[in-house]
Amino acid sequence: MDSPAPQEAQESHRFPCEQCGADYRFAPAQGALICDHCGHEKPLNEGPWSGGALKELDFLDALRQQLPDAEIEVTRVSTCPNCAAQVEFDASVHASECPFCATPVVADTGENRHIKPKGVLPFQFDERAAHKAMEDWLGRLWFAPNGLTDYARKGRKLDGIYVPYWTYDAQTRSQYTGQRGTEYTVNRTVMVDGKPQTRTEIRVRWSNVRGRVQRFFDDVLVLASRSLPRKYTEGLEPWDLSQLAPYQPKYLAGFRAEAYTIDLETGFSDARQKMDRVIERDIKFDIGGDRQRISSVETEVSAVTFKHILLPVWMAAYKYRGKSYRFVVNGQSGRVQGERPWSAWKIAAAIVAVVLLVGGVAYFVGAPPVDGALPKVSLPLPSVPNGSGW
């Protein structure tokens, strides 16, 4: 499905400076190409994007391998031996570090043929601002190791990665059967301590219902990569997709782009799960009443179209005392997600401080124990999760 086109020239994400010949990079703050060697600035050829709709591609045509040749591209990618991420490299890069897990990667000569991105959401802020967002996030975490926070603040480079996503549009029509519940109250006399008391109980009267609902889904967003845990990428949402611009390789100058590893058909299965949850809410609203039960749903899906898009993420993978920590920053909004580091020393110190505080309060507000010992204090230990989260 992803290689229906004949061999074509590989696109390059390198753009030589008009003045000195060094490489331009896309600068988010200026929205232009800038040469770090001589400072020359070059605006993008196309004017500001108005936010209009990008052209969708037909889903069934893609499954039948009938997309036009112009919708297919060939890129040079390397696969990380640890996390299997597929990241694009410029021709001049021969060795690097995986931005997802900090594993050393040697660039190979493999080529990846895939559906070309239709749209790109350009980075909205630069690496310095992303570093500041990550440091602020780390600073708000209780019990984070000081060493990791200091390590992150030493100016280690963040990688700007364009992460692949699919978006799906679809028209749905659903028939359902179920039950509508209508609540009513009854008074019941019960005996309490030998005395009769009246209590009001809520009961439900159920009636069978059937009906139809329909909804058009626009831009159902699905991650097309397995390199990052889904909870991280979902934590970066929402994305303002109205700011998508038509894909230009120039937006990738100075950045990396990850190739999708979740194919179009698998991605649509994920999209259907999201659609089904919305359809379920629509059905319950259509049933009405005080309570709802859904017995069966049959959904017809038609007019399915899709886009392959790239969304901006600043990423850091730190190895601290033998353990890897990953942090990601939404390149549009600045939202931060990552693995929650814990400091055993800080947790132990906090427990001791609480014990001493409670013991001191007990000593001054109450009579001291006869034997002179401090009162025994039973405190719940803080729960330290195994893995990530915060």
Of 325, 341, 357, the last residue of a domain is 341
Q: Are 121 and 134 members of one domain?
A: yes
- H runs (alpha helix) in the chain: 59-63, 127-139, 146-152, 230-236, 264-287, 344-365
Q: Tell me: do 253 and 362 sit in the same domain.
A: no
- Phi, psi at 286, each rounded to 5°: -70, -35
* Judgement on whether residues 327 and 356 belong to the same structural domain of the protein: no
Distance CA 117, CA 240 (A): 17
Identify the domain containing residue 362 by its residue range. Answer: 343-390
Does a structural domain hold residue 11? no
Whether 33 and 132 map to the same domain: the answer is: yes
The pairing of strands 57-58 and 291-320 is: antiparallel
The amino acid occupying position 247 is Y
Strands 195-223 and 95-97 turn out to be unpaired
Nearest to 326 by CA among 236, 223, 224: 236
Does 105 map to a domain?
A: yes
Say yes or no: 306 and 379 in one domain. Answer: no
| Length of the chain counted residue by residue | 390
Together in a domain, 387 and 300: no
Helix (H, G, I), strand (E, B) or coil at 70: helix
Task: Write down the pLDDT at residue 122.
Answer: 92
State which of 321, 341, 361 marks the end of a domain: 341
**Same domain membership, residue 100 and residue 48:** yes
Bridge partners of 217, per DSSP, are: 170
| 18 band by pLDDT with thresholds 50, 70 and 90 | confident
Reported as a single tens digit per residue, the pLDDT across 153-193 is 555 678 899 999 999 999 999 999 999 999 999 998 888 88
**By C-alpha distance, which of 389, 83, 82 is closest to 228?**
83
Number of domains within the chain: 3
Please check whether residues 332 and 215 belong to one and the same domain: yes
Q: Rounded CA gap, 251 and 331, in Å?
A: 13
User: Average pLDDT, whole number, for the chain?
Assistant: 78
Residue pair 183/290 in contact by the 8 Å Cβ criterion: yes
Residues 201 and 118 occupy one common structural domain: no
| pLDDT over 90 (residue 207) | yes
Same-domain check for residues 167 and 296: yes
Q: Flag whether 373 is in a domain.
A: yes
Domain-located, residue 317? yes
Let me know if residue 12 belongs to a domain. Answer: no
DSSP string covering 2-57: ---SPP-PPP----B-TTT-PBEEEETTTTEEEETTT--EEE-SS-----PPPPPE
- Rounded to whole angstroms, the Cα distance separating 325 from 317 reads 6
344 near 197, Cβ under 8 Å? no
How do residues 59-86 score in pLDDT, each as one tens digit? Answer: 999 999 899 988 988 776 667 766 666 6
On whether both 130 and 188 belong to a single domain, the answer is no
Is pLDDT of 3 > 70? no
Calculate mean pLDDT across residues 27-48.
75
User: What pLDDT was estimated at residue 230?
Assistant: 85
Q: What is the pLDDT of residue 163?
A: 93
CA 251 distance to own-chain centroid: 21
How much is the pLDDT for 35? Answer: 83
- Span of 167-171, 186-190, 315-319, 364-368 with lowest mean pLDDT: 364-368
2 located within any domain: no
Mark which of 159, 186, 207 sits at the end of a domain.
207
The two tokens of residue 153 are 């603040």
Q: Of all residues in the chain, what percent carry a pLDDT higher than 90? A: 36
In tens, the pLDDT along 249-277 reads: 888 888 888 889 899 999 999 999 999 99
Residue 167 falls inside a structural domain: yes
Tokens of 241: 């997709």
What pTM was estimated for this model as a whole?
A: 0.73
Q: Is residue 13 situated within a structural domain?
A: no
- Rounded Cα distance, 280 and 328, in Å: 32
pLDDT beyond 80 at 92: no
Same domain membership, residue 326 and residue 216: yes
